[in-house]
Amino acid sequence: MNGRRARVWLFDLDNTLHNASHFAFGGINGAMTEYIVRELSMTPPEADALRRAYWLRYGATLLGLVRHHGVRADHFLHHTHVLPGLEDSVHGHPHDLQALRRLRGRKVILTNAPRAYALRVLGVLGIARAFDAIFAIEDMRMFGELRPKPDARMLRRLAARLRVPPHRCTLVEDTLAHQKAARRIGMKTVWMQRWMRGAARVHKLASRHAMRPAYVDRRVRSLGELVSGKMRSR
C-alpha cells in the first residue's frame, strides 16, 4: 500500500493505552514537586504551586522550568520518571494487543512523556512491537525549543516526517486540547474514554460538550472499536 495513502494512527500513551491515573501520574507529580524543591530551593507547598501553575500555563511543567529557570530538559525528565514499582502498577487491557494487530495502517506512539518511560510502559503491556515508531517528548524539539502536544506546529512537522498528509493521520487521545490542535491542521481525532475517572466524569464531559466537541470525530472505550468500526459519533 502506498505510504502516503495508508492511514497513520497516532496513539497517546498515558490514559489512552493504560491507566496512568492508577499509579504513574501521582508518582510523576510527586517527583516533579520534589525536583523543584531540590533544584530551586523552594518549600514543598511553593514547589507544588509552581508545578501546577506551569502545567496550566504551558500544558507541561517542564516548559515553564526550562523557560524561566534554565532547567535542563533531559535532567528533569530523568529524575522525574524513575518511578520505582512502575512495572508492577501498569494496567492495560488484555484485548488491546489483538486489536492493534488487526488495525490496518501504520501505528505510532505520540507521547509527551520521555522515551525511556514509554518503552517501560509498552514493555509491560506487551504491545511495543505493534508500533512502527515512538515519538516522545525528546523528539518534539523545534527551533531549539521543546514543543509538545498540543503544539500544532509540532503535529504538522510530525506528519511531514512520516511523509503523510495530515488528513491521513488519526490521533487517538484522552486529552481534548490535544485533539483540538490536531483537528485544526486537518487530522482525524478519536476520543479514548476507557480510562477516564469513573462514569460520572464521562457523563459530565459528554453533557458539557453535547456528547462530543465538534473537533472530535469519534468516541471509543476500547481499541477494538477502532477495528470493528463501532465508534460512537454521538
Q: What is the CATH number of domain 24-84?
A: 1.10.150.450
Q: Which phi and psi angles does 103 have, rounded to 5°?
A: -75, 120
Q: Which helix (H) or strand (E) holds 135?
A: strand 133-135
CB neighbour class for 227 (10 Å; exposed up to 12, middle 13-18, buried from 19): middle
Residue 183 CA to residue 176 CA, distance in Å, equals 10
Residue 214 CA to residue 204 CA, distance in Å, equals 17
Q: Which CATH superfamily is domain 8-18+90-228 in?
A: HAD superfamily/HAD-like (3.40.50.1000)
Spell out the domain ranges in the chain: 8-18+90-228, 24-84
Query: How many H-runs (helices) and E-runs (strands) does the chain carry?
Result: 10, 8
Per-residue pLDDT of the chain (234 residues; tens, 9 = 90+): 455 678 999 999 999 999 999 899 999 999 999 999 999 999 999 999 999 999 999 989 999 999 999 999 999 999 999 999 999 999 888 888 889 989 999 999 999 999 999 999 999 999 999 999 999 999 999 999 999 999 999 999 999 999 999 999 999 999 999 999 999 999 999 999 998 765 445 445 554 544 679 999 999 999 999 988 755 544
- Whether the upstream peptide bond of residue 150 has omega within 30° of 0, thus cis, is yes
Q: What is the pLDDT of residue 3?
A: 55
Residue 112 CA to residue 14 CA, distance in Å, equals 9
Residue 194 CA to residue 18 CA, distance in Å, equals 9
Q: What is the pLDDT of residue 4?
A: 61
Which of 103, 128, 108, 113 is CA-nearest to residue 225? Answer: 103
